[in-house]
Amino acid sequence: MSPIRWKSLSEFGAFVDVDLSDDLPSRVIEELVALYQEHRLLLFKSQRLSGVRQRQVSKWFGPLLTDDDVDGFVSVDPERGALGVSRLAYHSDLSCTPHPLLGLSLYAVEVTDGATSTLFVNALDAAASLPRELRTRVESCHVENLWPLSLSDRQRRSTVSDDWPGTVQPVLALHPRTGESVLYANENHTDRIVELSPDESEETLQALFSHLYSGAFTYEHSWYRGDFIVWDNRALQHGRREVPDGVARTLRRVELGDHGYAELMPPEVLAAYLSP
């Protein structure tokens, strides 16, 4: 019999009924890792996690980007964290580089219960269910993913210098653990399909986006205080709607991976982000 209780979420992911503040036996941790690898996203509710404990738990699912005991936050309060209240277009973190993050976790430190959400899109399932004609059209093609100047809109080459940094990735990239195809175009970073003419590229991208963001591969999580989510950044994209006025939303964030923003962000991108 399984040592933990869990159930599938609506489209993908799993809700797990475990108190993460307690020390857990290795057999439970092993089952949690297996669930994560199968379902790509795990939700734990009503948790009591310090920053240190969140990093300890997150490390079960992949290498921590940093072992520093420094808390990072996503918050509508500029004194507490970044990203403010604006809509965030769908993306996978650092998919504009050769080294996207492996995973992420968020813990709801202070939120107005049920008033704001994060939307997750399963780009692995989207790739597996592409219509045959569309899959044939893109299976040997590559997308150019650019560093975005806005997190709310799609970054286009026409609005930046010719040497603006980005990376070229297969449209159907391979998941580093399973080798399965993942649809690597997203509405924030992707400018074009490099092998196609501009018109063909845009037509094809819009077809991919219509499939990917149809709702068939989407899980929307409404945040409540104490919620903890960890997800596979290579398999899933995430985004959010604009946060309404007066709504509290402070989430503690932990990153999993081997390369981070400080290492990968080019100086010109950092300068653009810091400019008034």
Based on the fold, state whether residues 107 and 32 are members of the same structural domain.
Answer: yes
Based on the fold, state whether residues 51 and 177 are members of the same structural domain.
Answer: no
Based on the fold, state whether residues 243 and 204 are members of the same structural domain.
Answer: no
Query: Does 269 map to a domain?
Result: no
Q: What is the predicted pLDDT for the residue at 204?
A: 98
Q: What is the predicted pLDDT for the residue at 1?
A: 44
Q: CB–CB of 172/184 below 8 Å? A: yes
Query: Does 273 map to a domain?
Result: no
Based on the fold, state whether residues 106 and 228 are members of the same structural domain.
Answer: yes
Provide the residue count of the chain. Answer: 276
Distance between CA atoms of 189 and 187, rounded to whole angstroms?
A: 6
Based on the fold, state whether residues 227 and 102 are members of the same structural domain.
Answer: yes
Q: Spell out the residues 6+ positions from residue 184 whose beta carbon is closer than 8 angstroms to its own.
A: 92, 95, 123, 143, 145, 169, 170, 171, 172, 173
Structure tokens at 209: 């986006």
Q: Which residues of the chain are under the pLDDT cut of 70?
A: 1-2, 274-276
Q: What SS3 class is residue 229?
A: strand
Based on the fold, state whether residues 208 and 238 are members of the same structural domain.
Answer: no
Query: Does 72 map to a domain?
Result: yes
pTM as predicted: 0.95
Q: What is the predicted pLDDT for the residue at 215?
A: 95
Q: What is the predicted pLDDT for the residue at 41?
A: 98
Distance between CA atoms of 48 and 252, rounded to whole angstroms?
A: 12
Q: What is the predicted pLDDT for the residue at 3?
A: 73
Based on the fold, state whether residues 206 and 237 are members of the same structural domain.
Answer: no
Q: What SS3 class is residue 59?
A: helix
Q: CB–CB of 247/241 below 8 Å? A: no
Torsion of CA 223, 229, 233, 239, to 10 degrees: 0
Q: What SS3 class is residue 239?
A: strand
CA max distance for the chain: 59
Q: CB–CB of 92/255 below 8 Å? A: no
Domain that holds residue 40: 7-87+97-113+221-259
Cα→Cα distances 55→38, 114, 236, Å: 21, 25, 21
Q: What SS3 class is residue 130?
A: coil
Q: What is the CATH number of the domain that holds 250?
A: 3.60.130.10
Distance between CA atoms of 128 and 122, rounded to whole angstroms?
A: 10
Q: What is the predicted pLDDT for the residue at 175?
A: 96
Q: CB–CB of 10/219 below 8 Å? A: yes
Q: pLDDT tens-digit profile of 226-260? A: 999 999 999 999 999 999 999 999 999 999 999 98
Based on the fold, state whether residues 127 and 196 are members of the same structural domain.
Answer: yes
Q: What is the DSSP string of 148-193?
A: PS-SSS---GGGS-TT--EEEEESEEEPTTT--EEE---TTTEEEE
Count: domains in the chain: 2
Based on the fold, state whether residues 105 and 226 are members of the same structural domain.
Answer: yes
Distance between CA atoms of 227 and 181, rounded to whole angstroms?
A: 30
Q: What is the predicted pLDDT for the residue at 275?
A: 63
Task: Tell me how crowded residue 47 is: count the other CB atoms within 10 A of its CB.
Answer: 18
